[in-house]
Amino acid sequence: MKINVSAFGEVEGEVINAFTLTNDNGMSVTLLNYGGIIKEIHFPNTEGESVSCVQTFETLQDYIDDPSYRGAIVGRYANRIGHGSFALNGTEYTLDKNGGEHNLHGGLAGFHKKVWAASVQETTDSVAVTFTLTSPDGEGGFPGTVNVEACYSLDQNNELSLVITANTDKETPLSFTQHAYFTLSNDPQVGNTLLHIDADKVTDADSTLLPTGKLVEVANTPFDFTKPTAIKERAEQSNSHPLFDRVGGYDHNYVLRDTPEHTPQATVKALDTGIAMSLFTNLPGLQFYTGGLKTDDQLGALCLEPQHFPDAPNKPEFPNCFVKPGETFKASMRYKFSA
């Protein structure tokens, strides 16, 4: 196990480093202290050849200019908060409207564009990088000074773990996610990739992708990945659904089942490389994102974003997303690779 640290550029006079974590099995992960970004994941396929498993950019400026949150830690609140506002304890909070008429992924002051402090840890069994930052009271319109710690670790079992913890001095909504664009296949599109999501329902949404508060059963719809299924098989099935047709692909929040600790919430497998990834999380929702599957600029990647439900600050029927002083928010995301 080893960590290599190298300079990747500067942002407003602050040095951005690339931290490359490598285990003894040929798996490596490169992280940036800009945005807490996963820049690269390399894993050997069934022939022993290294495969790039996430989309990446070559330069820091590419990440600075990127509007798509590629590889970044997203906060203070992942996904949408309706109409850029929410009420809490009798006070109305006004947020950035950066996702159409809604607040998206924490707004203009999102964590994906922050320079995080970093420290490294090495043991015989794992290597880790811990990123920290403080978001001041009122940033982006949110209440509370929030202290965040995000620890990435890689072990000899080919497991990349991300644990994000946070505390606040005022009650506030929190939801963090990791926004990697996974590419386990060599195929330029994701249609042949097999996907399983351990969820019977997705949250319904309107034409702006804001939840209505209702839930939709996945059975007999393009959202049904309760068994490993090729993505295009579901996307192209004859019985579609209006919620799917609004996107022409996937950008939907799955309501995860309560599962045993060692059962993954999602699995992905590419048949051409033989590489599989299992995702484990303690969060209640999972945003599955491909963008429009029939457009010319198809991503060729998929995102699986563990999260609290979109617009939960305005939907008391959704799982609680509010954190009070004295409480510790914890989000756990583990990605186990195999071939």
Task: Locate 124 and state its tokens.
Answer: 């015989």
Task: Locate 269 and state its tokens.
Answer: 């497998």
Q: Has 250 been labeled as part of a binding site?
A: no
| The 14-22 sheet, strands edge to edge | 2-11, 14-22, 28-32, 38-44, 50-52
Dihedrals phi, psi of 312, to nearest 5 degrees: -60, -30
Among 179, 196, 252, 308, the active-site one is: 179
C-alpha gyration radius of the chain: 19
Q: Return d(Cα 338, Cα 334) in angstroms, integer.
A: 13
Q: Has 83 been labeled as part of a binding site?
A: no
- Residue pair 3/127 in contact by the 8 Å Cβ criterion: yes
Among 40, 139, 159, 305, the active-site one is: 305
Q: Has 180 been labeled as part of a binding site?
A: yes
For the chain, the first-to-last Cα distance in angstroms comes to 20
Task: Locate 294 and state its tokens.
Answer: 């029939």
Residue with tokens 């195929």: 187
Task: Locate 13 and state its tokens.
Answer: 């006079």
For residue 305, indicate whether it is catalytic.
yes
Query: 202 by DSSP, 3-state: which?
Result: strand
CB atoms within 10 A of CB 199: 22
Judge residue 246's burial from the number of C-beta atoms within 10 Å of its C-beta, 0-12 exposed, 13-18 middle, 19 or more buried.
middle
Judge residue 63's burial from the number of C-beta atoms within 10 Å of its C-beta, 0-12 exposed, 13-18 middle, 19 or more buried.
buried
Q: Has 157 been labeled as part of a binding site?
A: no
Strand partners, 230: 194
Q: Has 241 been labeled as part of a binding site?
A: no
CB atoms within 10 A of CB 117: 12
What residues are annotated to the active site?
179, 305
The annotation places the binding site at 79-80, 179-181, 251
The annotation places the binding site for beta-D-galactose at 79-80, 179-181, 251
